[in-house]
Amino acid sequence: MATLNPLISGAELEGRLGKESLRVADCRFYLAEPARGRKEYVANHIPGSRYFSLDDDLTGVVGAGRHPLPSATAFGDFIGRSGIGPAHNVVVYDDAGGGIAARMWWMLRSLGHDRVRVLDGGWETWTAESRPTTRQVPQWPATAFDGGADWTGVITAEQIEAARSDVLLIDAREPERYRGDVEPIDPVAGHIPGAVSVPYVGNVGPQGRFLPLEDLKSRFAVTAESDRKLVGYCGSGVTACNNLLALAAIGRPDALLYPGSWSDWCTSGRPVATAP
């Protein structure tokens, strides 16, 4: 069976609007202004979409890191109550190059829902192309979503340490944070020893769309040269999902997520590396 392209174009999505099998999720979010994304959704959004907040809907209360995953069972129950079931095709979008939307994409896939894609170019490209928008909020009837009791495709700090020679860590943060030049959020600067730097922001071009596949392959060339298990991390397990999305697009959907990421690692007394 062919692997579903994790990205969808605006033209393809517009052609599917109104189908009963479609669910569109608006994940616009701003770390410095947590309420702003919902306000912007209320003001205007893609027809048929509903809003999902990173803080309120895609993050748990307790766990490793600044944005811990909720329990798999709780999230599955929430998704079902929200109106997303196993038969639905889900499209997720944001206005951050997929930096937030990829989190929901990954969460659904981790629970076995493969029929989920990220809108290439997101909200900015959608509006730039003069595609339809609305203020109307759709009603999705509650349904059952059984994603199982546990997240799949995850790895913990303890498991990373136990298998250091068998994993290739990919750091999605800005180069200056990876090097340890600055650290605006977490208490310690630097990166996990042995990790390579592939900043997620480089996955998209100036128009907000993901780079052509050959260019993405070049960005992740180090992964093609390694037979180790790929592990993505960032500051708190959110934007690392954008790298996992890019890897899935080039044929590596098997990469794992370290959900706690740097915010978990650097506060646990584990070794830290700095410089390139």
Residue ranges and CATH numbers for the domains of the chain are 7-128 (3.40.250.10), 157-265 (3.40.250.10)
Catalytically annotated residue among 27, 234, 241, 266: 234
What is the C-alpha separation between 118 and 203, in angstroms, rounded?
A: 13
Please answer whether residues 124 and 208 qualify as being in contact, where contact means their C-beta atoms are separated by less than 8 angstroms.
yes
Task: Note the pLDDT of residue 1.
Answer: 33
What is the reported pTM? 0.96
Residues 22-72 pLDDT 10s = 999 999 999 999 999 999 999 999 999 999 999 999 999 988 899 999 999
Q: What is the DSSP string of 102-163?
A: HHHHHHHHHTT---EEEETTHHHHHHHTT---B-PPP----------SS-SSB--HHHHHHT
Residues 172-185 pLDDT 10s = 999 999 999 999 99
The mean pLDDT of 77-94, rounded to a whole number, is 97
Query: What percentage of the chain reaches a pLDDT higher than 90?
Result: 91
Q: Quick one: how many helices (H) and strands (E) in the chain?
A: 12, 9
266 catalytic per annotation: no
Q: Is the pLDDT of residue 2 over 60?
A: no
Buried b / exposed e over 75-87, threshold 16 CB at 10 Å, is bbbebbebbbbee
Q: Is the pLDDT of residue 189 over 70?
A: yes
Task: Note the pLDDT of residue 101.
Answer: 98
Question: What sign has the CA pseudo-torsion 140, 142, 147, 152?
Answer: positive
Task: Note the pLDDT of residue 3.
Answer: 59
Residues 101-139 pLDDT 10s = 999 999 999 999 999 999 999 999 999 999 999 999 999
Task: Note the pLDDT of residue 139.
Answer: 94
More confident residue, 62 or 158: 158
The mean pLDDT of 245-250, rounded to a whole number, is 97
Residues 206-225 pLDDT 10s = 888 999 999 999 999 998 87
Task: Note the pLDDT of residue 242.
Answer: 98
The mean pLDDT of 242-248, rounded to a whole number, is 98
